[in-house]
Amino acid sequence: MRVLAPYLALYKRHKWLLSLGVVLAIVTLLASIGLLTLSGWFLSASAVVGFAGAYSFNYMLPAAGVRGAAIIRTAGRYFERLVSHDATFRVLQHLRVFTFSKLLPLSPAGLARFRQGELLNRVVADVDTLDHLYLRVISPLIGALVVILAVTFGLSFLDVTLALTLGGIMLLTLFVLPPLFYRAGKPTGESLTQLRGHYRQQLTAWLHGQAELSIFGAATRYRDQMEQTELSWHEAQRRQSELTALSQALMMLIGGIAIIAMLWMAAGGVGDNARPGALIALFVFCALAAFEALAPVTGAFQHLGQVMASALRISQITEQQPEVQFPQTASVTPTQVSLRLRNVTFAYSPQAQPALNAISLQVAAGEHVAILGRTGCGKSTLLQLLTRAWDPQQGELLLNDSPLSVLDEPTLRRAMSVVPQRVHLFSATLRDNLLLAAPGASDEALADVLMRTGLEKLLEDAGLNSWLGEGGRQLSGGELRRLAIARALLHDAPLMLLDEPTEGLDAATERQILDLLADVMRDKTLLMVTHRLRGLARFNQIIVMDNGQIIEQGNHAELLEKQGRYYQFRQRL
């Protein structure tokens, strides 16, 4: 149960609304019990009076009580659902924000071992499962306990023995059946949670990889694996349904025993009344209605195992400590940036081979540096270390002669613009996709940067209000690259890190983008990772990497004169 503690703490933010929901649930249950109890007594008393030949009977008062209880039950049920679900949705909202705020500092190092489909399932489905904690566990349990006490107290005015007997049976049922079915349903609940996540992960991978699976003839085998997982999931659901049916059957059996006990004991007299008459019906119908209030409790505790499994899956992510820690003290954003790397060594866990091995590099403020090398030689890793996605195991990185680790995260992000290899397009308007980089930018500035990056076609039709992504316009690889460059230009930082910015562009567009970058970044520092050799003559430094090390360094003319690796690259053009 300790795993639920962080999530129960979130309920304190809405404790009054949640408490109101519980109170309304209790009022509704008591009104329902009162309605059936009073109706049973009223009908029985009317029959007894008619059979006895009595000429006077207070018809108005119990009839008004029946109508009042019916109205309270209907109104209470409506407002209880309204308040409880509203409170639950508010808790889930904060839970999602809480979960995402814990995930964000972990990216990318802490999340590398999780697949995207698994992360999505944990953040969405597992968080949604936690709503059972209030609606199906906490509220029914508190409501049932209060109902038992209220019914026992109310009936004690008529007969203490009968009241204590009914209350004892109900209390014993409340304390025995829920833990019993929690233990019985815990393995099934955990299995359901695991299988649901596994199936959705397989489904996500299947949807993303349909083309490759079909090309290599693996689609049928992969689909068979999905079907096997689905069958196991259905089997777990069947076991949970059987447990639910068993709990309801046991509750009906115990309720039937309690009703028979009330009927037998009340027939011998109620209080000082040796001839109880209609009071027998009152106790019988009260027992019947009270056990209906207990019915959700046993089923609720079956879901507790599933809730705890989901909470554990979320905690496995959120309780991780970020590998990169930023200081909390704010720093002044630099207007010029110089970089220095001293014997930087870094390896991805659990790989033994370092991605970077004793890299040393110095970049003066305003310099433009191109980084070349084969795929996997460590170029992109170098840029990621500069953004502090990871910290090196050895060596240090200096920005303006200060370690990167002394800069708080907002300052570091303001100091650099990044164009990654993988550009994300949000399902939103063109304006929203650009305002990510500069929230205060005007529409004129957004339109201008689109024109400068050759994306003026995106302004056709709805202009900046054009919808991109799902349900809207899809962008080609080249357009995505230029959109990322447009974001970087809007961010207007003194340091720009570019990872294959011209990949997927034709020669004319590539020349346009390189000219634009040279103009905009004239007095700023620029590091560009590239496989393409066009336009490198204008860079101050060209670095050639291989196996995580710098093997050549110099400007265009110097490297051609050495006739080394860079010269070989040029010869292949």
Which residues contact residue 355 at a Cβ distance below 8 angstroms, ignoring those fewer than 6 apart? 346, 347, 348, 378, 381, 548
**Is-contact 197 232, C-beta < 8 A?**
no
Q: How far is CA 417 from its chain centroid? A: 28
Whether 151 shows a pLDDT value over 60: the answer reads: yes
Q: What is the pTM of this model?
A: 0.71
Domains of the chain: 2-318 (1.20.1560.10), 339-425+489-571 (3.40.50.300), 426-474 (no CATH)
Q: What is the pLDDT of residue 185?
A: 80
Whether 243 shows a pLDDT value over 90: the answer reads: no
**Is-contact 138 302, C-beta < 8 A?**
no
Q: What is the pLDDT of residue 353?
A: 82
pLDDT band at 71 (very low <50, low <70, confident <90, very high): very high
Which region among 417-421, 477-481, 538-542, 566-570 has the lowest average model confidence (pLDDT)? Answer: 566-570
- Residue-averaged pLDDT of the chain: 84
Query: Rg of the chain over CA atoms, in angstroms?
Result: 35
Whether 237 shows a pLDDT value over 70: the answer reads: yes
pLDDT band at 192 (very low <50, low <70, confident <90, very high): confident
Q: What is the pLDDT of residue 527?
A: 92
pLDDT in tens, 371-384: 988 888 888 889 98
pLDDT in tens, 153-182: 988 988 899 999 999 999 998 888 888 888
Burial 250-277 (b: 16+ CB within 10 A, else e): bbeebbeebbebbeebbeebbeeeeebb
Average pLDDT estimate for 233-248: 87
pLDDT band at 78 (very low <50, low <70, confident <90, very high): very high
Q: What is the pLDDT of residue 1?
A: 61
- CA–CA separation, 544 vs 566, rounded Å? 7
Whether 573 shows a pLDDT value over 60: the answer reads: no
Bridge partners, residue 496, by sequence:
417, 526
What count of other Cβ atoms lies within 10 Å of the Cβ of residue 67?
11
Average pLDDT estimate for 541-568: 86
pLDDT in tens, 4-63: 777 777 777 888 888 898 899 899 999 999 898 888 888 888 877 766 555 566 778 888
pLDDT in tens, 89-115: 888 888 888 888 888 887 777 777 777
Whether 418 shows a pLDDT value over 60: the answer reads: yes
Whether 317 shows a pLDDT value over 60: the answer reads: yes
Average pLDDT estimate for 200-220: 84
pLDDT in tens, 117-130: 677 777 777 777 77
CA nearest neighbour of 538 among 553, 565, 557, 512: 557
Q: What is the pLDDT of residue 228?
A: 92
Q: What is the pLDDT of residue 206?
A: 84
Q: Which two tokens stand for residue 295?
A: 């019915």
Average pLDDT estimate for 221-233: 90
- 194 CB-side CA count, 13 A: 10
Average pLDDT estimate for 189-216: 83
Q: What is the pLDDT of residue 521?
A: 86
Sheet holding 394-399, edge to edge: 356-363, 339-346, 394-399, 402-403
Of 3-17, 191-205, 433-447, highest mean pLDDT: 433-447
- The total number of residues written for the chain in this structure: 573
Which region among 61-70, 127-136, 338-347 has the lowest average model confidence (pLDDT)? Answer: 127-136
- 226 CB-side CA count, 13 A: 15
Q: What is the pLDDT of residue 164?
A: 92
DSSP 329: S
Q: What is the pLDDT of residue 231?
A: 92
- CA–CA separation, 274 vs 11, rounded Å? 51
Whether 463 shows a pLDDT value over 90: the answer reads: no
Q: What is the pLDDT of residue 497?
A: 92
Q: What is the pLDDT of residue 88?
A: 83
Q: Which residue has the higher pLDDT, 185 or 282?
A: 282
